Chain A
Amino acid sequence: MSEEKEIVILLRQPPHGTLYPVEGLRMSVAVSGDFEPITVAINDGVYTFLKDVDKTMYSMHINFLKDIDLEIYVDKKSLDERGLTKEDLIDSVEIKEHEEILKIIENSTVTIPF
C-alpha cells in the first residue's frame, strides 16, 4: 500500500450523455489496490449520485468503494446551484461544504479529473 500519496478522483461531468463518471469510478476502484482514493463529485458530477438516475454501469463501483470504506464526497455548493438536497442523493455519499472540498483537493498529491 502506498498511503503516502493522496489520490482524489474528481467527477465533474454528468452521468447522462457522457461516460466520464463511469470511468472515474472505475479508476477509483482500480487505484484502490494501491491507494485509498477519495472520490469527489462537483458541478454536474453530482448527478452521478442521484437516487433516481440510472446507475446500471457504475452501481457496482459505488458498492465496492463503500464495501472497502472509501469515501465519496459531494460538493454542497454544486448541489445548491442545481436545486438538489441530501434527500435526492443515495445514502452512500457524504455532502461536504465547498471549502472542505477545495481543501481536500488542495491536500491531495494527485488529482485525476473526469
Chain B
Amino acid sequence: MDCSLSVVYVEKRLNIGDDKLKMGRLGILFFNGPYQAQSSETVVKLANAALDKGHGVHIFCYMDAVNAALENQKNVEGIFNIEEGFKEILEKGATVRLCNLCLLVRGTMKNCLKRECGDVKRAGTPDLAKIIEETDRLVVIC
C-alpha cells in the first residue's frame, strides 16, 4: 500500500452485547486525490469490507479527495475506477460528504456525484465534527 494510513482509535469501542454483536459505525476522513496513489482504492475497499459486514460507513472527502467523487471518470483497463467504487459503496448505504470549499476552489462543484447515486452531498467541515461524534472509530487516510 503506497499511502500512509493513520488509524485513529476512538475510545468508544464497538458495543458487544451478551449474545450478539451490535454493528459499528466507521468514519473515514480521506485526503488524497484519485489516480495518483492507491489511497482512493483503499478507501473504497475498506468501506466495502465494513459495509459487507453490516457496519455503517461515513466518509468525509477533504482537499483533493473531493476529486475522487467526480462523474464521468474514464474506464481504463487495469485501473480501478474510483467513481464506480464510490457508487458501489453508496448503493450499499455509505454516506459520503464532500467538502464544499474544496470543490469550489477546484472548480468541480457541478461535476461531483449526484444524490441519485445515494447519500452523497456537499458539506462543510462542521459535518466532519458530526461524523467524529457519531462514529465509533475514525480512520484518517492521507
Contact = CB atoms under 8 A, between A and B. Distances in A.
Contact of A111 (B8, B63, B129, B133): B8
B113 interface: no
Interface stretch (A23-31, A66-74, A77-85, A93-101): A23-31
Majority SS at the chain B contact face: mixed
Interface residues on B, range: 10 to 19
Interface residues of A, number: 21
B128 to A, nearest CB: 7
Interface in A1-45: 2, 4-5, 7, 19, 23, 26-27, 29-31, 33-35
Given A5-B10, A30-B129, 20 more contacts: A2-B132, A7-B132, A23-B62, A27-B125, A27-B128, A30-B125, A31-B129, A31-B132, A34-B129, A34-B133, A35-B129, A35-B133, A108-B8, A109-B8, A110-B8, A111-B6, A111-B8, A112-B8, A112-B140, A114-B142
